[in-house]
């Protein structure tokens, strides 16, 4: 606690003379890094050559941005949701949805059964046939029988 109190008492007092080289260099660096001096000429030129008044085009753009604002969009959605409540579908509609889903699955499988299944025989390539033969030869199950 005493250490903190001593620091609070002496932190505003510095021992460098005003003409110390470190302090002079720090003041120069601060002036060099100042954004105000850097942008001062630009601000003066900008006020001369880019007058921003409220033109009809700017008003139209502002109005378009306001219309496209997410906040206004979500506000309208919240108001609509508070006015209406969603009801669950009646049982007959649920049943119709289920039947439609089953019929579409049956038609999908019907095409597979009629047009694709069993219409060709797959002949394995040489590497696969060789691997199967080697697996049969190496298998210990066939040796035990």
Extents of the domains making up the chain: 15-83, 91-144
**Phi, psi angle pair for 73, to nearest 5°:** -65, -45
Task: Look at 11-15, 23-27, 57-61 and tell me which has the smallest mean pLDDT.
Answer: 11-15
- Confidence band, pLDDT 50/70/90 cuts, at residue 127: confident
pLDDT, position 92: 95
pLDDT, position 121: 61
pLDDT, position 61: 87
Give yes or no for a contact between 70 and 76, defined as CB atoms under 8 angstroms apart: no
How distant, in Å, are the alpha carbons of 50, 55, 58, 65, 132 from that of 62? 18, 11, 6, 5, 73
Rounded Cα distance between 83 and 113, Å, is 51
pLDDT, position 94: 94
Task: Look at 2-11, 44-53, 93-102 and tell me which has the smallest mean pLDDT.
Answer: 44-53
Considering just the CA atoms, what is the radius of gyration of the chain in Å? 41
Q: Which two tokens stand for residue 98?
A: 């289920």
78-92 pLDDT, tens per residue? 778 778 777 889 999
Entry pTM: 0.24
27-85 pLDDT, tens per residue? 888 887 877 777 888 888 777 776 666 778 888 888 888 877 777 777 777 778 778 77
- The single residue listed with the structure tokens 């579409």 is 104
């Amino acid at each position: 606690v005493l250490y903190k109190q001593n620091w609070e008492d002496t932190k505003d007092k510095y021992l460098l003379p005003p003409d110390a080289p470190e302090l002079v260099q720090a003041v120069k660096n601060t002036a060099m890094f100042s954004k105000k001096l850097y942008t001062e000429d630009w601000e003066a030129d900008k006020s001369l050559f880019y007058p921003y008044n409220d033109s009809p085009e700017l008003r139209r753009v502002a109005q378009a941005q306001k219309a496209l604002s997410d906040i206004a969009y979500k506000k309208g959605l919240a108001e609509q949701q508070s006015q209406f409540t969603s009801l669950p579908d009646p049982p007959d509609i649920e049943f119709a949805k289920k039947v439609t889903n089953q019929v579409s699955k049956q038609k999908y499988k019907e095409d597979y059964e009629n047009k694709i299944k069993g219409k060709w025989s797959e002949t394995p390539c040489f590497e696969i046939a060789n691997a199967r033969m080697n697996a049969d030869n190496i298998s210990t199950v066939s040796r035990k029988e």
